């Protein structure tokens, strides 16, 4: 049994202005020692999905399907039981974590709080010792426990958030955009830290990001979400190098390989905006922005189907197994060639 | 339009120092920088947070008065009286990092874009010059140049009704409206989704090609630089440590710091990642010698000792890299300077 098993999860926000389906049938599992990534742009439902893992979704959200944490149904269990599972079995590092520390409390006290709340037998001194241990685990000197958040840099605050998530020795960590506000060097440090923790403590990690290149290097498997659905799933490195869905291709191409002549003066973007979940286009939800869309895409909504041994994709045009990143790049390359020629002419 | 023929915006021996409060030493945000932005080029200024790249950009915009050295524009040095600054700012415009924060939530798109036109009295100036234009025409033109078409459809929208990409286009339209010659874009895509990123970068390229704009992009993202920049200047702790064309700097980096930055870009798996420990050091306490030496991998792994320059690294000051010319790095290792 996997640590986390989500089966056909559906989340709809009820509002007076109409129902908004945020997650429309997602199935995934995370095993011990495994890192699973979820990629997608804002509004695709990835943060809503994360919130259901510990039943943190807002009151107006109606949840269908099942979320099993350690084999127990999170969405239907008794409140007291759920409260005991939060922090102890799974913990979440939220997006914008840099602003979620209390500015007027020492960080040591903030980390000790969940430890003592979840186990009344822990004395103050024992909690302080555990805080020191946690800080060292995330690569900070234990003396930093006396610091206030404003005395720490962005990378250090992110380490504190990870130490907090580890406080009650959970087996699953959900990290929602843990490196988005950080710059490259600090991002590399934080990702290294997460990878080491997964390895050393045998954690399960669900990593959420819009940056497919980050997921490609840290995860075992990646799911790409679009408009509340998984449109592509596969081993992380292969999905990043050879995406099979045009949307996966666009996400992968957004972060070019430095030195790749195809990407020079040819940034690849995706025209248009994500659809309004209240008013999804008919057929495949991605077709209005798709470079390969044909007539049939406007009528048929493709299901997620296996392709090859370990890949799944929801696209009517994916059957040939073409590399969508390459395909997009070729389209833009011509534009780039023209631009370079123009510039050469202008310079000479 | 011929790119690279003329230095439009230049900094010479630029220093920006922030006085320390309560007896603390001064912070040297920019500590001796020579830099040229040529007409029609896209220059990327890259570095970690806290390296002084935003301070440098602000002083080039005239928002920060340098404590030493000078900024010059089109051959004449920048004066800091209100009048000269106003006319300067019409020619050099800023595009900010976070489009949601840069737009007034209670101003419609039209008002946001027209604000600059009104401040700089662009319509009056054009009429005096004999050009018959209305404010509405100029706002429409700026919006469609920024890729919001048809522009009239967006006039009455408020920022909350727009997507992140559209907001960033409105911010860019606001800068374009006053017809600048240089745009300084501070992390133009870092707060945007991956899918929109490419579209905004393509827009910057298009503006350069079609309007002949020069663009200074401040970023920590080397992939972005590879996508659009002609040249790159790498900044570390108040100084430019490496400068050259994008191909030179990213394909054969000379400075150990540039190498480290490149090695941690997630897409590059050919190079063994060199994760530097610690964060950018403190600008109030500059290390002696080369300012990168406390974190330098070349000093740690013995490369510097082999070359017999260890003493130079820790105690001998490096010269300021001069602007223009070839690919150079501020490093004592042989053949780098």
> Chain B: residue nearest A328 by CA?
B198
> Helices (H) and strands (E) in chain A — how many of each?
10, 12
Paired tokens of B273: 């990642």
A346 vs B contacts (CB less than 8 Å): 1-3
- Reported ipTM: the value is 0.81
What's the gap in Å between the CA of B222 and the closest CA on chain A?
A: 7
A250 vs B contacts (CB less than 8 Å): 194-195, 198
How would you write B163-222 as a 3-class SS string?
Answer: CHHHHHHHHHHHHHHCCCCEEEEECCCCCCCHHHHHHHHHHHHHHHHHHCCEEEEEECCH
The answer to the question of residue A302 being in a domain is no
CB-based contact, A155 to chain B, within 8 Å: yes
Q: Please answer whether residues B331 and B256 qualify as being in contact, where contact means their C-beta atoms are separated by less than 8 angstroms.
A: yes
pTM value? 0.86
What does the DSSP 8-state code read for residue A43? T
For chain B, the domains span 253-329
Helix residue ranges, H only, chain B = 53-60, 82-91, 99-102, 109-119, 122-128, 135-145, 164-177, 194-211, 222-228, 246-251, 256-263, 297-300, 303-306, 310-315
What's the gap in Å between the CA of A169 and the closest CA on chain B?
A: 26
Range of the domain at A156: 100-169
Split into its structural domains, chain A has a count of 1
Residues 6+ apart with CB under 8 A from A320: none
What does the DSSP 8-state code read for residue A289? G
Of A247, A313, A245, A308, the C-alpha closest to A275 is A247
Q: What residues 61-100 of chain A have any CB closer than 8 A to a CB of chain B?
A: none
Q: How confident is the model at residue B4 (pLDDT cuts 50, 70, 90)?
A: very low
User: What per-residue confidence (pLDDT) applies to B1?
Assistant: 38
- Residuewise pLDDT in 10s, chain A (348 residues): 789 999 999 999 998 888 999 999 999 999 999 999 999 988 899 999 999 999 999 999 999 999 999 999 999 999 999 999 999 999 998 877 667 899 999 999 999 999 999 988 999 999 999 999 999 988 888 989 999 998 888 888 888 999 999 999 999 999 998 887 777 888 888 898 999 999 999 999 999 998 898 999 899 999 999 999 999 999 999 999 899 999 999 998 888 888 888 788 888 888 888 888 888 999 999 999 988 888 999 999 999 999 988 999 999 988 777 888 877 777 777 766 776 677 677 666
Whether the per-residue pLDDT at B2 is higher than 60: the answer is no
A210 vs B contacts (CB less than 8 Å): 193-194
Cross-chain residue pair B264–A187, CB shorter than 8 Å:
yes
B220 vs A contacts (CB less than 8 Å): 183-184
> Chain B: residue nearest A188 by CA?
B264
Q: How confident is the model at residue B3 (pLDDT cuts 50, 70, 90)?
A: very low
Cross-chain residue pair A185–B260, CB shorter than 8 Å:
yes
User: What per-residue confidence (pLDDT) applies to B171?
Assistant: 95
Long-range interactions of B62-65: CB distance < 8 A, separation 24+: B62/B88, B62/B89, B62/B92, B63/B94, B64/B16, B64/B29
Cross-chain residue pair B194–A217, CB shorter than 8 Å:
no
Cross-chain residue pair B266–A266, CB shorter than 8 Å:
no
Paired tokens of A119: 């186990």
> Chain A: residue nearest B258 by CA?
A185
User: What per-residue confidence (pLDDT) applies to B279?
Assistant: 63
Q: What residues 182-201 of chain B have any CB closer than 8 A to a CB of chain A?
A: 193-201
- Give the Cα separation of B176 and B114 in Å (integer): 11
- Give the Cα separation of B222 and B235 in Å (integer): 13
A189 vs B contacts (CB less than 8 Å): 275, 277
CB-based contact, A238 to chain B, within 8 Å: no
Q: What share of chain B is helix, strand, coil (3-state, %, to 5)?
A: 40, 20, 40
CB-based contact, B3 to chain A, within 8 Å: yes
User: What per-residue confidence (pLDDT) applies to A184?
Assistant: 80
User: What per-residue confidence (pLDDT) applies to B215?
Assistant: 96
Paired tokens of A169: 């020795």
B199 vs A contacts (CB less than 8 Å): 267, 269-271
Q: What residues 264-293 of chain B have any CB closer than 8 A to a CB of chain A?
A: 264-269, 273, 275-277, 279
User: What per-residue confidence (pLDDT) applies to A218?
Assistant: 92
B265 vs A contacts (CB less than 8 Å): 184, 213, 258
Which of A258, A335, A336 should we substitute to test contact with B (largest number of B Cβ atoms within 10 Å)? Answer: A258
Tally Cβ neighbours within 10 Å of residue B74: 14
Residue B247 CB-density burial (10 A; 0-12 exposed, 13-18 middle, 19+ buried): middle
B2 vs A contacts (CB less than 8 Å): 346-347
User: What per-residue confidence (pLDDT) applies to A155?
Assistant: 82
Q: Any idea which residue has 């007539």 for tokens?
A: A295
Which of B5, B194, B200, B258 should we substitute to test contact with A (largest number of A Cβ atoms within 10 Å)? Answer: B194
The answer to the question of residue A21 being in a domain is no
- Give the Cα separation of B304 and B292 in Å (integer): 13
Whether the per-residue pLDDT at B241 is higher than 70: the answer is yes
Cross-chain residue pair B1–A346, CB shorter than 8 Å:
yes
> Chain B: residue nearest A152 by CA?
B279
């Amino acid at each position: 049994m996997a640590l986390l098993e989500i089966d056909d999860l559906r989340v709809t926000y009820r509002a007076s202005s109409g129902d908004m389906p945020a997650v429309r049938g997602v199935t995934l599992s995370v095993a011990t020692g495994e890192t699973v990534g979820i990629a997608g742009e804002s509004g695709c439902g990835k943060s809503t999905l994360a919130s259901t893992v510990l039943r943190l979704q807002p009151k107006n959200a109606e949840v269908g399907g099942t979320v099993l944490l350690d084999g127990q149904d999170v969405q239907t269990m008794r409140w007291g039981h759920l409260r005991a599972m939060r922090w102890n079995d799974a913990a979440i590092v939220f997006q914008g974590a840099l602003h979620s520390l209390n500015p007027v409390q020492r960080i040591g006290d903030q980390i000790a709080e969940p430890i003592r709340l979840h186990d009344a037998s822990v004395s103050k001194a024992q909690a302080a010792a555990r805080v020191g241990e946690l800080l060292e685990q995330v690569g900070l000197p234990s003396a930093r426990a006396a610091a206030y958040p404003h005395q720490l840099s962005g990378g250090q605050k992110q380490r504190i958030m990870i130490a907090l998530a580890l406080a009650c020795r959970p087996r699953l960590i959900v990290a929602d955009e843990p490196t988005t506000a950080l710059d490259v060097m600090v991002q590399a440090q934080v990702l290294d830290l997460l990878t080491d923790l997964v390895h050393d403590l045998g954690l399960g990690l669900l990593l959420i990001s819009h940056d497919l290149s980050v997921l490609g290097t840290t995860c075992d498997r990646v799911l790409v979400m679009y408009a509340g659905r998984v449109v592509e799933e596969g081993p992380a490195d292969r999905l990043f190098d050879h995406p099979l869905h045009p949307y996966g291709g666009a996400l992968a191409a957004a972060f070019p390989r430095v030195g790749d002549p195809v990407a020079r003066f040819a940034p690849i973007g995706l025209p248009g905006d994500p659809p309004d979940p209240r008013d999804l286009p008919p057929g495949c939800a991605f077709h209005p922005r798709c470079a390969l869309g044909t007539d049939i895409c406007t009528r048929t909504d493709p299901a997620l189907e296996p392709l090859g041994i370990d890949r799944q994709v929801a696209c009517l045009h994916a059957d040939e197994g073409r590399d969508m990143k390459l395909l997009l790049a070729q389209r833009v390359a011509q534009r780039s060639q023209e631009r370079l020629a123009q510039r050469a002419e202008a310079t000479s | 339009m011929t790119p690279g023929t003329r230095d439009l915006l230049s900094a010479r021996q630029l220093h920006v120092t922030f006085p320390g409060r309560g007896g603390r030493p001064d912070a040297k945000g920019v500590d001796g920088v020579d830099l040229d932005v040529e007409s029609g080029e896209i220059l990327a200024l890259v570095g970690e947070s806290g390296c002084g790249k935003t301070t440098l950009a602000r002083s080039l915009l005239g928002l920060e008065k340098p404590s030493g050295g000078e900024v010059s524009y089109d051959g004449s040095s920048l004066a800091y009286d209100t009048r000269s600054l106003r006319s300067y700012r019409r020619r050099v415009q800023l595009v900010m990092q976070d489009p949601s924060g840069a737009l007034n939530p209670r101003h419609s798109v039209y008002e946001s874009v027209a604000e600059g036109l009104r401040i700089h009295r662009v319509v009056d100036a054009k009429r005096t010059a004999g050009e018959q234009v209305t404010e509405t025409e100029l706002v429409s033109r700026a919006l469609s140049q920024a890729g919001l078409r048809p522009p009239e459809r967006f006039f009455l929208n408020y920022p909350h009704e727009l997507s992140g990409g559209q907001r960033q286009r409105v911010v860019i339209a606001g800068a374009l409206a006053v017809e600048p010659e240089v745009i300084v874009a501070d992390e133009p895509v870092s707060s945007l989704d991956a899918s929109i990123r490419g579209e905004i970068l393509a827009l910057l390229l298009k503006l350069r090609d079609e309007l002949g704009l020069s663009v200074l992009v401040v970023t920590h993202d080397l992939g972005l630089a590879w996508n659009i920049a002609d040249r790159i200047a790498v900044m570390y702790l108040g100084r430019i440590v490496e400068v050259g064309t994008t191909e030179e700097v990213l394909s054969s980096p000379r400075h150990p710091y540039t190498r480290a930055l490149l090695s941690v870009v997630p897409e590059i798996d050919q190079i063994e990642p060199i994760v530097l420990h610690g964060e950018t050091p403190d600008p109030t306490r500059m290390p002696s010698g080369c300012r990168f030496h406390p974190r330098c991998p070349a000093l740690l792994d013995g490369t510097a000792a082999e070359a017999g320059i260890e003493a130079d690294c820790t105690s001998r000051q490096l010269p300021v890299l001069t602007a223009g010319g070839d690919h150079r790095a501020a490093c004592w290792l042989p053949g780098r300077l």
